[in-house]
Amino acid sequence: MAEQNEQQRTLSDYARPAVMGTQSSIVRPPITANNFELKPSFIQMLQQSAQFNGLADEDPNSHIENFLEVCDILKINGVTDDAIHLASITTWE
């Protein structure tokens, strides 16, 4: 029976990565700041200047560039840029 299943697999079946037992590569960075909060005005600024809808005429690279540019405005002691990026995305959604 196992031999029959092996014979029915296509080349694309072998090229597909196995996802069983894998973990996310996104790890939340540690934040040493006591109070870390993104203000609603910052989130609104992100939504207005870095919104990406996936339309055919939109450039995803430009979207990422705009997002990083806006996030670079915000600096908080004890909070890394990566933590600000992740918090911006999770708060935004």
- Residue-wise pLDDT tens digits, 10-47: 888 778 777 777 777 777 777 777 777 888 888 888 88
Closest by Cα among 60, 63, 82, 62 to 72: 82
Residue-level pLDDT at 92: 58
Q: State the chain's maximal CA–CA distance in angstroms.
A: 61
Residue-level pLDDT at 1: 47
What is the separation, in whole angstroms, between the first and last Cα of the chain?
A: 47
Q: What is the mean pLDDT of the segment spanning 85-89?
A: 81
Percent share of the chain, pLDDT over 90: 0
| Six-digit token string for 4 | 């029959």
Res 79 pLDDT > 70: yes
Amino acid, single-letter form, for residue 62: S
Q: Are the C-beta atoms of 20 and 36 separated by less than 8 Å? A: no
- The overall average pLDDT reported for the chain is 79
